[in-house]
Chains A and B, each alone.
Chain A
Amino acid sequence: MSSLSEEDRANLVAFLDGELDEGTARALEARLNLDPSARAKAETLRKTWELLDYLPRPEPSTSFTNRTLEKLAVRHTTGPHLAIARGRLPRWIVALGWAAALVVAGASGLGAAHLLWSGEETPPPEAAEVEEILVRYPRVVENERLFEEIDNLDFLRSLGDPKLFGEDETGS
C-alpha cells in the first residue's frame, strides 16, 4: 500500500477518536485489515495517546476557593467591614465565626458547642454575631492567618470532636 496521505492520517486519528462517519470508518477499517504498516501506525498512535495518562493532574491548593472568593470581595468592596455590612461574608470570616465558637466550646465544654452547633442545618452566624465574637475573642483575630486556609467547615467542626482531638488518655 502506498504511504498515507495527509487526509489518510487525519482520518486515522479521527477513526481512533470515534469521529468518523460510519461509511468512512468502515472503509478505513477494511484498509487497516489489509495493510500491516497502516495498522502499525494506528497502534503507535493509540499507544502514544495512552502515554498522556502519565501526565500529572495537580491537586488545587486547599485555599483556592477562598482566594478566589476573596478576590471578588476585594473587587466589590472597599474592605472587609463593607463586606460584612452588606451581609456577604468572605468565607474566612464565616470560618472565623465557627472558630470562635470552637474557642467557646473549649472554654466551656461541649454544652456550649452544642448550643452553637445544633446540627448540620445550623446556618453560619449573622454578620452582627461574627463582629461580636471577633470583639470578644481577640485570639481568634490574632490567629486569622491560620483560619484563612480553612475552606471546609466540616474540618473546622471536627476540631471540636473530643474523640479526634480530645485530651490524651493517661499512658497513651
Chain B
Amino acid sequence: MAVIGETSSQLALRDPDIRLMLRVRDDDPVAFAELVELYQHRLITVMHHLVGNKEEAEDLAQEAFLRVYRVRKKYRPRAKFSTWLFTIANNLALNTLRRRQRKPAVRLNVRDSGPLGPRPAEQLVRDRASQPGAHLQEKELAAVIQQALHGLNERQRMAVVLNKFEDMNYAEIAEVMELSTKAVKSLLSRARENLRLVLKSYVYMDSEPIPDSGDLDDE
C-alpha cells in the first residue's frame, strides 16, 4: 500500500470510507464496486433534487463515480471522503445546470403536463390566496415542493440539498462548494426565505392557526 502522511492516516482511521477509497487507489478490484454500492443512493438522491430527472440523476451520479475512479491515483485524504465525493458531484451538477441554461432543451416528461406541471414561482405565490385543502395528496405536495426547489438558483439549490439531504454543516458545504462559510450562510438564508415565500400556503395546510406574522416582509 502507498505510504500516506500522518494526517491522512489519522483521517483514514476515523473514516472507513477513506480506507475504502485508498483500496480503490491501490486497484483493489472489489473496492470500487463497494464504493458505488455504498454511495449510489445518496448521490442519486442529491442529483435528482438538483436536476429533477431520475435518468439524468443516474447519469450524473455514474459520471461522478467514474471521475472518482479516473483520479484515484491522485487521491490524498484531506477531509471526509463524502466531502471529496460531493465536491466532484457539485462541479458536475453545476456544469450541467449551467449548460442547460445556455441551451434550454425542454424534455417533456409525462409528469410535466397537467395542473401540477411546471409553473413559475410567482404563480405559486399568487395562488396562495386559495388555501390548499388539507387532503392535498402527498404526491401533489411533493410536486409543488419540487417546483419550489427548482425555482431557486443552482447554488441556492445545491446548498439546500447538501444541508437537508446530506446533513452537511455550513463548513462542509463551504468546502464542497468552494465558498466561505459566510457565503454559505447567506446562500442558505436567501434560499430558505425564497422557499418560505413560495410554500407559505402549504406550511399551515393542516389547519394549524397561522401565527401572528405582522413583520413577515414579503419580497
Contact = CB atoms under 8 A, between A and B. Distances in A.
Real complex partners, A and B? yes
Interface stretch (A58-66, A99-107, A114-122, A135-143): A58-66
Contact of B203 (A17, A37, A47): A47
Residue of A1, A6, A56, A59 with most chain B CB atoms under a 10 A cut-off: A56
Interface in A61-102: 61, 64-65, 67-69, 71-72, 75, 88, 91
Contacts of A55: 49, 142, 145-146, 149
A65 B40 contact: yes
A69 B62 CA distance: 9
A10 interface: yes
Interface string A21-46: 00000000000000011111101110
Contacts of B199: 48, 51
Q: Could you tell me the dominant secondary structure of chain B's interface residues?
A: helix
Interface string B176-214: 000000000110110011011001101110000001111
A9 B29 contact: no
Contacts, number: 129
Contact of B48 (A9, A17, A58, A88): A58
A41 B215 contact: yes
A155 interface: no
A44 B202 contact: no
A68 B29 CA distance: 14
B81 interface: no
Contact of A3 (B41, B186, B215): B215
24 contacts: A1-B215, A10-B185, A10-B186, A13-B189, A14-B170, A14-B185, A17-B163, A36-B211, A36-B212, A37-B213, A40-B216, A41-B216, A44-B211, A45-B192, A48-B199, A54-B145, A57-B45, A60-B41, A60-B58, A60-B61, A64-B40, A64-B62, A68-B65, A91-B33
Interface of A: 1, 3-4, 6, 9-10, 12-14, 17, 19, 36-41, 43-45, 47-49, 51-52, 54-61, 64-65, 67-69, 71-72, 75, 88, 91
Given A55-B49, A68-B65, 11 more contacts: A13-B192, A44-B200, A48-B199, A49-B192, A52-B164, A57-B41, A57-B45, A64-B62, A67-B62, A68-B62, A68-B66
